[in-house]
Structure 1
Amino acid sequence: MSLIRSVLHMAWLLITVIPWGLTLVVISLWVGRTPLWWFAVNWFRLVIWGTRTILGIQVRVSGLENLPQGATAPAILLSKHQSTLETLLLPTLMPHPLAFVFKRELLRIPFFGWSMARLDMIHIDRESRAAALKHVVAQGKRLLAQGTWIIMFPEGTRMARGQNGTYQTAGSRLAVETGAPVIPIAVSSGKCWPRTGFTKFPGVVDVSIGKPIPSVGREPKELMREVEAWIEAEMRRIDPEAYR
């Protein structure tokens, strides 16, 4: 049954992304980034509806009250990354437009990648870390000044359930450079949507949003250690079975 549901869900993604992606590319010729972003978020919401209805994956969110308030309040979101689910889900939870930091190769994905290219994200060349970091800081400053929140996965790639990778400091460096607070996020998506494999499974995915961590006067490595400590401790709370 889970395999059949997964096939139907993939069909749902393809059926919806093609017209939505093409429309987004066309209207981007006349529409600014902010309304274009909320147009894209409506597709994310459609996908999450399909995830809930077809796959039987429910989402339980805590900590929304920790998000900075105000139209001009900056934030840098640093999230655990276990599957594609959080990439689709987190934009539907946030009150600000988001800019993902992601590898440039994703722009080649038909329809989805083409749409991402029109949304003024931060795409980087992972082969050159020094140049990538400079690009993240420069583009991050510009987008934060426009009211866009930056979202990054500090481990750099999807991690298997119950595992953690090396937390890179690009996000904390951007926070220190701009004075924007860091919002740590723990996500137990690996329970239902594994990092590898096609089949997804019904269940409950927890999203826990932590309190803002100030960045002013901090050292990037020390700040990232605090972020990592909170996320990994929270992962053990929301998904204890994965860490036995």
Structure 2
Amino acid sequence: MQMAILTVRAILFYIGMFALSVPFSLLAILLIPLPAVTRSRMVSGWAFGVIWWLKVTCNLRYTVRGREHLPAGSYVILSKHQSAWETICLQCIFPPQIWVMKKELMMIPFLGWAFWALDAIPIDRSSGREALKKLVINGKERLKRGLCVVIFPEGTRTAPDTRAKYHIGGAWLASHTQSVVVPVAHNAGRYWRKNSILKYPGVIQVVIGKPIETSGLKADAVNKLVEDWIEAEMLQL
């Protein structure tokens, strides 16, 4: 009986999310002439709507610790990746932002169009060092426009209590642009699980770490600082 209720709630959630995605994706395209920060602020209304609908349909909420650590200006956000939840909710927590993502995601109807219209940074993982060069060029340009750049260093979603290799891309961008890094830990995977439509009720915990200054640090050193902090924090969640 409980599984049936969870399934119905999840279906209602996805219906609502799709209903919100269509108009906001079209809005993102219409807003292309406006400054990037303005576009991000306006289109992030989609994320606020989805997170509110998630609370209504699935009784899934979140709390945030460490908001006082958020620096002024634009910076690189490196976050734990356990589910699709954080790709939505980070828009509700952080200032105007864009995301680094697999280029295949840009082809998703509606959402992919919105990613393109908002100047998301597509990457081809198979291109190796060339991908890092493009990431720095594109990321530097977005940061100059006042946008934070969100990257999930693990590259793919990991199940709770597991960890994957932290790829160098986010740290590479930060060190090559002398940008501050803000690490983020959370336990969304316990409630919004990978490869499952079910959403379990509860409270997702998000922790924002102290900013990491990258001046004088190489990318691998930045990457290790981020990984050590996130994984240590995950043990407490």
Same fold per TM (> 0.5)?
yes
Unaligned 5+ runs, structure 1: 239-244
Aligned partner of 2:116: which letter?
Answer: A
The aligned runs of 1:13-52 (5 Å cut-off) are: 13-28=17-32, 30-52=33-55
Whole-angstrom distance in 2 between the partners of 1:27 and 1:172: 31
Aligned partner of 1:155: which letter?
Answer: E
1:58 is matched with which residue? 61
Per the TM alignment, residue 12 of structure 1 is displaced from its structure 2 partner at its CA by 0.5
1:170 is matched with which residue? 169
User: How high is the TM-score relative to the length of structure 2?
Assistant: 0.95
Whole-angstrom distance in 2 between the partners of 1:117 and 1:171: 20
User: How high is the TM-score relative to the length of structure 1?
Assistant: 0.92
Question: What is the CA RMSD across the aligned residues, in angstroms?
Answer: 1.1
Where 1:200 maps in the other structure, the secondary structure is coil
CA 1:232/1:183 → structure 2, altered by over 3 Å: closer, same or farther? same
1:118 is matched with which residue? 117
Total equivalences in the alignment = 233
Identity between Structure 1 and Structure 2 (%): 36
Per the TM alignment, residue 189 of structure 1 is displaced from its structure 2 partner at its CA by 0.3
Cα distance per residue 1:162-188 (max 9 Å; x no partner):
111000111111111111111110011
Whole-angstrom distance in 1 between the partners of 2:222 and 2:37: 30
Residues 58 and 201 of structure 2 are in contact (CA less than 8 Å); yes or no, is this contact kept in structure 1? Answer: yes
Cα distance per residue 1:11-69 (max 9 Å; x no partner):
001111112212322332x3332221112100110000011111111101000110102
Where 2:63 maps in the other structure, the secondary structure is strand
Matched, 1:5 2:4: no
Aligned partner of 1:137: which letter?
Answer: V
The aligned runs of 1:138-217 (5 Å cut-off) are: 138-217=137-216
Residues 37 and 146 of structure 2 are in contact (CA less than 8 Å); yes or no, is this contact kept in structure 1? Answer: no
CA 1:147/1:23 → structure 2, altered by over 3 Å: closer, same or farther? closer
Whole-angstrom distance in 1 between the partners of 2:133 and 2:217: 19
Per the TM alignment, residue 232 of structure 1 is displaced from its structure 2 partner at its CA by 0.4
Unaligned 5+ runs, structure 2: none
Per the TM alignment, residue 148 of structure 1 is displaced from its structure 2 partner at its CA by 1.1
Cα distance per residue 1:60-116 (max 9 Å; x no partner):
1000110102xxx23111000000100000011113x21200011111111111111
CA 1:27/1:151 → structure 2, altered by over 3 Å: closer, same or farther? closer
Where 1:237 maps in the other structure, the secondary structure is coil
Aligned partner of 2:75: which letter?
Answer: A
1:91 is matched with which residue? 91
Cα distance per residue 1:117-138 (max 9 Å; x no partner):
0001111112212121111111
Residues 28 and 118 of structure 2 are in contact (CA less than 8 Å); yes or no, is this contact kept in structure 1? Answer: no
Per the TM alignment, residue 149 of structure 1 is displaced from its structure 2 partner at its CA by 1.0
